[in-house]
């Protein structure tokens, strides 16, 4: 019998599950009819629940220190970072609106593969493709009377041909998934090494891969490789930057946490509040 514990994560101001899981950085967390979020990371399952303004995780006790504390980046002071941005009134509004977003420290291969799937795609469809991939090739996890699935390893997916993925309906991205899996499993792309490298070097490494453009690479840098200065730009960000920032705006002025500022802007722009 699986023994789980309920562990306090923080207030909604410190970690807001809706903002964190619905801001476009991850695709493995889904809310049930009560608003509780179920998800899997690093082969471990958990449930995140909100009670008034307090947030808890339900997980195996030994998994909290080994997986979830780092995954939710709980030892970083997001409030201080949020208040340190000095790039005008619009970013201040975005940061206040997005208070509670945390940058998840995701498994490196999962983040890269997920954002390869994400290109030219919408979030519900991305989630659907990722779920099919996990059900087909991941390991089954029994948790709280539910069946969840781990993200399949690069080694396992490297053994496939693109046509083997027809059933997950990823389209042209199937070839990119298999090529990336081979590159990672064979070691021609070393994600651990890229995580240790400077951001520009890591970016160049990712861009050398088939089917990985700057947006996908920037997302993999920020959400999988821990490069918090990475600043992904998609259509939402292009619009927000054009409307609210100077033409010569350089995200580098936001410093080592530019990626968190990006998430605040992105979440605010998509919410409709930023119109």
Supply the pLDDT for residue 275.
53
Q: Is the pLDDT of residue 1 over 80?
A: no
The residue count of the chain comes to 275
CA–CA separation, 107 and 28 (whole Å) = 12
What is the structure's pLDDT at 2?
A: 67
How far, in whole angstroms, is CA 74 from its chain's centroid? 15
Yes or no: say if 265 and 94 are a contact pair by the CB < 8 Å rule: yes
Kindly report the number of other CB atoms within 10 A of residue 269's CB atom: 22
CA angle 85, 90, 93 (to 5 degrees): 80
- CA triple 222-209-121, angle to 5 deg: 60
Please compute the mean of the pLDDT values over residues 1-6 and round it to a whole number.
81
pLDDT higher than 90, residue 87? no
pLDDT in tens, 88-111: 899 999 999 999 999 999 999 999
pLDDT in tens, 27-85: 999 999 999 999 999 999 999 999 999 999 999 999 999 999 999 999 999 999 998 98
Question: Residue 270's closest CA among 71, 122, 92?
Answer: 122
Q: Rounded distance, CA 67 to CA 107, Å?
A: 10
Complete DSSP assignment for 53-85: TEEEEEEEHHHIIIIIHHHTTTTS-HHHHHHH-
Supply the mean pLDDT for the chain: 95
Encode pLDDT of 203-258 as tens digits.
999 999 999 999 999 999 999 999 999 999 998 899 999 999 988 999 999 999 99
Is pLDDT at 21 greater than 70 in this prediction?
yes
**In terms of pLDDT, which residue wins out, 58 or 272?**
58
What pTM does this model have? 0.94
Helix (H) or strand (E) holding 125: helix 123-137
Structure tokens at 93: 């509004």
């Amino acid at each position: 019998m699986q023994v789980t514990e309920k562990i306090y994560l923080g207030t909604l101001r410190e970690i807001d599950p809706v903002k964190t899981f619905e801001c476009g950085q991850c695709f493995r967390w889904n809310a049930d009819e009560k608003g509780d979020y179920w998800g899997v990371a690093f082969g471990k399952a958990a449930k995140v629940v909100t009670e008034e303004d307090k947030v808890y995780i339900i997980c195996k006790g030994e998994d909290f220190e080994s997986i979830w504390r780092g995954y939710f980046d709980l030892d970083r002071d997001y409030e201080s970072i949020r208040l340190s941005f000095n790039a005008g009134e619009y970013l201040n509004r975005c940061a206040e609106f997005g208070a509670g977003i945390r940058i998840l420290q995701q498994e490196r291969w999962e983040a890269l593969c997920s954002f390869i799937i994400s290109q030219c795609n919408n979030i519900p469809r991305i989630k659907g493709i990722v779920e099919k991939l996990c059900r087909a090739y991941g390991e089954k996890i029994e948790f709280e009377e539910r069946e969840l699935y781990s993200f399949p390893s690069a080694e396992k997916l490297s053994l496939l041909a693109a046509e083997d993925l027809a059933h997950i309906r990823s389209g042209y991205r199937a070839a990119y998934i298999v090529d990336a899996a081979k590159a990672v499993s064979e070691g021609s792309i070393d994600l651990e090494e890229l995580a240790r490298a400077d951001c520009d070097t890591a970016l160049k490494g990712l861009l050398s891969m088939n089917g990985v453009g700057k947006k996908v690479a920037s997302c993999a840098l920020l959400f999988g490789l821990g490069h918090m200065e990475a600043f992904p730009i998609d259509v939402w960000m292009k619009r927000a930057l054009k409307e609210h920032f100077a033409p010569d705006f350089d995200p580098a002025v936001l410093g080592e946490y530019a990626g968190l500022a990006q998430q605040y802007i992105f979440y605010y722009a998509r919410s409709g509040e930023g119109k």
